[in-house]
Copies of this chain bind each other. A is one copy, B any other.
Amino acid sequence: MTRIVLDAMGSDEYPLPEIEAARAAVQRWRDPLILAGPRSRLAPLLEQNAGGDSRITIADASEVLGMTDKAARAARGKADSSMAVGIDLLRDGRADAFVTAGNTGGAMSTALLRLGRLRGVRRPALTAVFPVRGGRAVILDIGANVDCKAEYILQFAVMGSVYAQVALGIPSPRIGLISNGEEPSKGTALIHETYPLLKATGLNFVGNVEAKEIYAGEVDVAVTDGFTGNVFLKTSESVARFMTEVIRDEITSGPLTAVGGLLARPAFDRVRRLLDPAEYGAAPLLGLNGLVFVGHGRSDARALVNAIGAARAAAEAGLLEALRAALEPYLVRQTAGAAAGD
């Protein structure tokens, strides 16, 4: 039995997508599911929309963690938020994974405060799975740590490798360090420091990579600092949207191309699904002492069900234990580094 706790107040349209997702999830996986949120508001909606399915229970939380809250203040001040209540269930061993479509920064700081980090982890990372030629790749950090040290990125590589094994089923994931050229001489001072650290691991480190190699499917995990990862992922999403708009404009600009566009529509729909972040569902915060998955704020019920699926798969594959074991060899180096530099 895999016990998921779902933040009922996370998505932009909360809580109806969450209630619908909860109902679909218990029907699909036949495991109980906990909704974290205000009971007075959720109970009647559950009764109405999920026919009082007894496998869905409510963990009462009074406050909503808004997208405008400063993450840190929110984490400190709102012990009764649906995020805090949900994450406390993880901490207390009453759930196996927490899923939210709420504020990523809020989820990170709430989880850091209430769950803490895996032993020896310097900085937890926000991770994403995105489409590349021939499959999918993992990227981290995508925004939790904008200013990074080399040892953080080393740990991102270790954690990303484990996540690619578990989530993508790749035995020995190829790791690339995002740089402005493939040669080891390329990159910032941070990259010059990180490269030899990665080279010295037992990881399948293939060296520096550019976007070209990443999108050609030549790596399974792209590691980078949280600023660069954020720019990479947001640029990818923005260019995909821009191209979609340009193609639509051009196709609808003439009658013949418009007919062509109509005939080709099933192909475009497949492309859109392939590129839709909601298809994968959710990104894990790696390095926390528990499984926390964050979906997109614009998640609908389908995206939330995918998010629950990703969290369930990680829990069932023993992601947390695999991360602990993989990080073990880096604890000594890291303690030395921590004493010297941090």
Contact = CB atoms under 8 A, between A and B. Distances in A.
Say how many copies of this protein the assembly contains.
Answer: 2
Interface in A153-201: 178, 180, 186-189
A143 B239 contact: no
Interface in A204-227: 210-212, 214-216, 226-227
A30 interface: no
Contacts of A241: 212, 215
Contact of A211 (B132, B188, B238, B243): B238
A40 interface: no
A261 B267 CA distance: 9
A143 B234 CA distance: 19
Contacts of A266: 254, 256-257
A274 to B, nearest CB: 6
Given A226-B180, A228-B231, A260-B262, A238 B267 contact: no
Is chain A's interface secondary structure helix, strand, loop, or mixed overall? Answer: helix
A228 to B, nearest CB: 6
Contact of A263 (B212, B234, B263, B270): B263
A271 B246 CA distance: 7
Given A147-B189, A263-B259, A263-B263, A250 B238 contact: no
Nearest to A185: B70
A114 to B, nearest CB: 24
A265 interface: yes
Nearest to A261: B264
A250 B270 contact: yes
B238 A215 contact: yes
A275 interface: yes
A267 B212 CA distance: 25
A230 interface: yes
A29 interface: no
A237 interface: yes
A232 interface: yes
A239 B260 contact: no
A210 B146 CA distance: 14
28 contacts: A133-B245, A146-B188, A180-B230, A180-B231, A187-B227, A211-B231, A211-B234, A211-B237, A214-B238, A215-B238, A228-B228, A228-B231, A231-B232, A232-B235, A235-B235, A235-B236, A236-B239, A250-B270, A251-B264, A251-B267, A257-B263, A257-B265, A257-B266, A260-B260, A260-B261, A260-B263, A260-B264, A264-B264
